[in-house]
Copies of this chain bind each other. A is one copy, B any other.
């Protein structure tokens, strides 16, 4: 059983990315893993941008990463890459913060034309942190409905696809965790 940190890099309060992250966390628990979640948008802005790791909330977020056996990292795609919010947080982590840690990257975007940003933009950054990055998954914004109250819901086909992806990642975690033990 692994402890997985599900991290959302969306700056938006009604976020498709956060919707994916929560579904994934639920799936991982169903596979017997512990999960914790971290919404980067809830971190205090000034110490985050100043990389002030002495701030208690920032320090706690860094600790959540350090204590995780694996991570799910979700981001909206803006300007052909990951969100600035996500990169701002990754920037303040130690250089080898994700060494040997499996990471499942998830992205949402307004156009399928930006799918490759997962592999050409996000993956190299996670690799530079030492992560073992799994095949990622992209969800087109159109497949996540947003209700007037801000609630977001995946459509059925997208939900099933995400369950399958998460299931593969969950199974992949078991031997890694044993190997690392």
Contact = CB atoms under 8 A, between A and B. Distances in A.
A37 interface: no
Interface of A: 11, 41, 45-46, 48-51, 78-91, 93, 95, 112-117, 119-121, 123-125, 127-130, 132, 134-135, 138, 175-176, 178-179
A138 B130 CA distance: 15
A81 B125 contact: yes
A60 to B, nearest CB: 18
B79 A83 contact: no
A88 B129 CA distance: 20
Copies assembled: 4
Contacts of A48: 45, 49
By Cβ-Cβ distance, the 5 closest A-B pairs, closest first, are: A84-B88, A84-B87, A120-B120, A80-B128, A45-B45
29 contacts: A11-B49, A11-B50, A41-B49, A45-B45, A45-B48, A48-B49, A49-B84, A78-B91, A79-B91, A79-B95, A79-B125, A80-B119, A80-B124, A81-B125, A81-B128, A83-B87, A83-B88, A84-B87, A88-B88, A112-B112, A112-B113, A113-B113, A113-B116, A116-B120, A120-B120, A123-B127, A127-B135, A130-B135, A175-B175
Contacts of A119: 80, 123-124, 127-128
Contact of A116 (B80, B88, B90): B80
A81 B87 CA distance: 9
A138 to B, nearest CB: 8
